Structure 1
Amino acid sequence: MSVCRPARCLFTKTASTPLPKATPQRWFQTSASRQARKRRPHYPSIKADDLKLLNQAAEAEYPKYDTSETTLLAKQYSPSQIAAIKAAETSIDSRDVLIQGQRRTDPWRLPYEDDLAEVDPVTDHRPRLGPEDIEGRLEYRRANPVERDEAIARIANENLAKMYPEGFPEGKLNDAQEQEMQDALEAALTQAAVDPRVTYTSDHPAVLEALADPRHSVVAPSLPRLENRMARQTRRLSTEEEEDPRQKRLLQYLGWDKQNLRNLRIKTLVSHGVTNQTRMGKIRSFYYLTMAGNQDGLLGVGEGKSVEPEEGRKQSVMSAIRNMRPVPRYENRTTFGDLERKVGATKVQLFARPPGFGLRTQHLIFELARAAGLQDLAAKTPRSRNKMNVIKATWEALTNQKLPDEIARARGKKLVDVRKVYYGGSVH
């Protein structure tokens, strides 16, 4: 037995040289331990002189309200609002605003500095007015030739007054000034000719001014608007849209309107090219498999094939909407028990799950379940995963479920005897 270790332990306190330290514990993190890091302050230290300069700059940049400004605010705001403004001013340190605040440089910033108290006719939306904003009866009539000439002269003078607010230039004019005045006169007459107040007139001054007020252009359709013939011919109302005859027949078949079709969730799940060998050669067409559902218990699958891609897709959409069937849902969230369906070499197994489980399936079954309004479902495809067969098998499994009441009637029993749940599950 060696005596080195006992001797070392005995003379440890008397030895002048310190013992070697143990090997430090190894760290597996990429960053150094907190003790090894150089601690830096979170905020830079500011000297007293710099602090005085900051305070002076903050007071100059963001001064406090003086007595005259407070008097002006009191004319517009109530005493409680004035107290809230003062409390906000005292709680916000102007020095922090100067240090931490910065001007926006993003593309969505306002192109001008404004307190947003007034409406800018260039950048802001114009306020819309309705017929209720005009007092009195909304009566107007078509103007006769005399009234039309008088209105053109009056409106042209108003336009010229806007172009020359200080009056027409007097004295001898050069060629450029005369041409400019001639162009201004033609522009004023053109604007007056297309003004609605020239075509229509009214004994009510407010109605007459509203004819040319752009704030009444949308919400007051009862007031006339002057439109050129080209705009009338090119504009097509929503009620006059050209309707697809197949869509019209489909709406008649289902007894729906266009709003029901817009609420459907339609998605093309499979699309690929198909080649048909004929005596005329190879004819290539496009195949589409589309699903449609209202996310509330209706689901349909349709196929379409055509030489034109858009035509084939439209055929599949119409077929999917026409083939929609109800999908029974337990508590409007999952299926009635586990389901299994086989199409070709593809087998699909669907499993009902408790609330909050979600849709944990592959992407094709996920789209079908979401379109049908299912929320909790699990699925397996243990055999072939051909896309078309997976979609068809899932659709047939969801629409051909066996309900508990049907099973009970087939067995000649009551529903509670089939479910084997008595008295709310307290007795089995």
Structure 2
Amino acid sequence: MSVCRPARCLFSKASSSIPKPSAPHPRRPFSTTPPRPVRKRRPHYPSIKAEDLALLNQAADSSFPKYDTSETALLSKKYTPSQIAAIQAAEQALDARDIIVQGQGRTDPWRVPYEDDMAEMDPVTDHAEKLSHTDIKGRKNVRLTNAVERDAAIAQIGNETLAKMYPDGIPDEIPKKDQEFFQEAMTTALTQGALDPRAVFTSTNPKVLEALADPRHDVRLPDLPRIENKMVRQTRRLSQDEEEDPRQKRMLQYLGWEKEKLRGLRVKTLVVHGVVNQTRMGKIRSLYYLTIAGNGDGLLGVGEGKSVEPDEGRKQSVMSAIRNMRPIPRYENRTIFGDLEKKVGATKVQLYSRPPGFGLRTQHLIFEMARAAGLQDLSARTPKSRNKMNVIKATWEALCNQRLPDEIARGRGKKLVDVRKVYYGGSVH
């Protein structure tokens, strides 16, 4: 046994009797965050004093008064007892003081008056009754405004909009912090005036002028309730009116199609990679696109495009794919006629017809092409090189150059009869 152990035990007992200093020994912290006892927890909501609470109660009672007996009697004439009970439950669940403390209203010029006295129809929450021309009294003559009438109408509508933003009138001196808001309000008022129908049409009948600005006469009223203003509708209309591409226009004239038929095609870009062309001016980098297009009902096309601009190259490939669409023979409108094999470069593609319900069990490139052509049962193998460009081109050529049973029978001088179609009435499954 070591002789140091008794001495160490003795010293430890002696050191335990020595009083510890009041302040702990300073240690290096591993984090900059102060310890938990030192932290001051901030409340989630500001504390309200008693005198402020009395003022808050007064503001809540004045801004959101409770229903009196006369208003309750009017509500009972329009709503059922269950609806009145739901209204009273909602009034008790909502605290008016929380609305004043935590609520925040919009201050931008495009704000919508959400708070109202329920005396008028709100296009956001209410569905106004549809009005027709029979509700307009007097003659219904309308004509286009001239320049003077248009400016006067814009000024009047702008003044009405500014009056809603500044109920007490526009101040003579606007502080610097509010000048930006005032400029935005002026722009909003003039924009609303320019887009208002009263700035374009006018009439000698005041009822007709009121109907021009009344949303109940608008044909778009069934789309409510939704926040709709004229600026939003104008912006949506401009975004929907796409700039017509001259190449697309020529292609539609060549094919004799409509735009709706063109939009129904299934278009997918399968190959994208960069190409570098070495010239005397240096290396010119461009992007190469290979796209397929099909209608899902027996048409399939493959197109290529290359350009320095990405959008331009992709448009070239899409237009080329649509122009190159060819009919794909389909057996029973679901699979191919027999087994196919095609070789392009070092790539060999083998396609096999399959029974109903087999599905498309191929690699992703052939899968997209089969789906665009309207094939449903197909399997494929690529035993050699799997270059994407060659796989797509070999598959397309194999599908387009199928040998049909009618052609084989005609070449042999025979007459082909589909036994299942003739003797079983088309019941092929």
2:345 matches 1:344: yes
Classify 1:325/1:75 alpha carbon distance in 2 versus 1 (closer, same or farther; 3 Å): same
1:211 CA drift (Å) = 1.2
Match of 1:402 in 2: 403
1:307 CA drift (Å) = 2.5
Q: How far apart, in 2, do the equivalents of 1:312 and 1:161 lie?
A: 53
Match of 1:60 in 2: none
Match of 1:264 in 2: 265
Match of 1:304 in 2: 305
| Superposed CA offset, 1:32-84 (max 9, x none) | xxxxxxxxxxxxxxxxxxxxxxxxxxxxxxxxxxxxx9xx999878xxxx9xx
The gaps in structure 2 that reach 5 residues or longer are 1-71, 83-117, 175-181, 222-229
Describe the SS at the equivalent of 2:292. strand
Q: How far apart, in 1, do the equivalents of 2:135 and 2:278 lie?
A: 73
Match of 1:327 in 2: 328
Match of 2:6 in 1: none
Partners of 1:291 and 1:317 within 8 A in 2 = yes
1:354 CA drift (Å) = 2.1
1:219 CA drift (Å) = 3.7
Which amino acid letter does the alignment assign opposite residue 424 of structure 2?
G
Moved more, 346-355 or 241-250: 241-250
Classify 1:338/1:279 alpha carbon distance in 2 versus 1 (closer, same or farther; 3 Å): same
Which amino acid letter does the alignment assign opposite residue 315 of structure 1?
Q
Partners of 1:327 and 1:399 within 8 A in 2 = yes
Match of 2:292 in 1: 291
Partners of 1:129 and 1:219 within 8 A in 2 = no
Q: How far apart, in 2, do the equivalents of 1:148 and 1:315 lie?
A: 46
| Superposed CA offset, 1:176-220 (max 9, x none) | 98879xxx9x99xx7898775587544656533211123445649
Could you tell me the TM-score, scaled by structure 1's length?
0.54
Match of 1:139 in 2: 141
Q: How far apart, in 2, do the equivalents of 1:75 and 1:153 lie?
A: 41
Which amino acid letter does the alignment assign opposite residue 374 of structure 2?
G
Classify 1:323/1:155 alpha carbon distance in 2 versus 1 (closer, same or farther; 3 Å): closer
Q: How far apart, in 1, do the equivalents of 2:158 and 2:283 lie?
A: 71
1:285 CA drift (Å) = 2.3
Q: How far apart, in 1, do the equivalents of 2:278 and 2:158 lie?
A: 74
Aligned ranges for residues 117-196 of structure 1 at < 5 Å? Answer: 121=122, 123-124=124-125, 129=130, 131=132, 134=135, 138-141=140-143
Match of 2:424 in 1: 424
Aligned ranges for residues 309-388 of structure 1 at < 5 Å? Answer: 309-388=310-389
1:308 CA drift (Å) = 2.5
Partners of 1:128 and 1:216 within 8 A in 2 = no
Classify 1:375/1:234 alpha carbon distance in 2 versus 1 (closer, same or farther; 3 Å): closer
Match of 1:41 in 2: none
Match of 1:247 in 2: 248
Classify 1:388/1:196 alpha carbon distance in 2 versus 1 (closer, same or farther; 3 Å): closer
Partners of 1:416 and 1:422 within 8 A in 2 = yes
1:310 CA drift (Å) = 2.2
Q: Tell me the percent identity.
A: 66
Q: How far apart, in 1, do the equivalents of 2:339 and 2:316 lie?
A: 33
Describe the SS at the equivalent of 1:121. coil
1:321 CA drift (Å) = 0.9
Match of 1:173 in 2: none
Q: How far apart, in 1, do the equivalents of 2:283 and 2:151 lie?
A: 73
The gaps in structure 1 that reach 5 residues or longer are 1-68, 86-116, 170-175, 221-226
Match of 1:276 in 2: 277
Aligned-residue CA RMSD in angstroms?
A: 5.2
Q: How far apart, in 2, do the equivalents of 1:143 and 1:321 lie?
A: 47
Describe the SS at the equivalent of 2:343. strand
Partners of 1:360 and 1:366 within 8 A in 2 = yes
1:266 CA drift (Å) = 1.1
Match of 2:213 in 1: 212
Partners of 1:142 and 1:201 within 8 A in 2 = yes
Q: How far apart, in 2, do the equivalents of 1:341 and 1:235 lie?
A: 49
Which amino acid letter does the alignment assign opposite residue 285 of structure 2?
R
Question: How many residues align structurally?
Answer: 302
Aligned ranges for residues 29-68 of structure 1 at < 5 Å? Answer: none
Q: How far apart, in 1, do the equivalents of 2:334 and 2:125 lie?
A: 46
Classify 1:75/1:366 alpha carbon distance in 2 versus 1 (closer, same or farther; 3 Å): same
Partners of 2:337 and 2:353 within 8 A in 1 = yes
Classify 1:128/1:75 alpha carbon distance in 2 versus 1 (closer, same or farther; 3 Å): closer
Q: How far apart, in 2, do the equivalents of 1:301 and 1:275 lie?
A: 23
Classify 1:122/1:350 alpha carbon distance in 2 versus 1 (closer, same or farther; 3 Å): same
Q: How far apart, in 1, do the equivalents of 2:148 and 2:323 lie?
A: 63
Classify 1:298/1:125 alpha carbon distance in 2 versus 1 (closer, same or farther; 3 Å): farther
Partners of 1:268 and 1:288 within 8 A in 2 = yes
Q: How far apart, in 2, do the equivalents of 1:155 and 1:420 lie?
A: 76
Classify 1:209/1:348 alpha carbon distance in 2 versus 1 (closer, same or farther; 3 Å): same
Describe the SS at the equivalent of 1:402. coil
1:370 CA drift (Å) = 0.7
Describe the SS at the equivalent of 2:424. helix
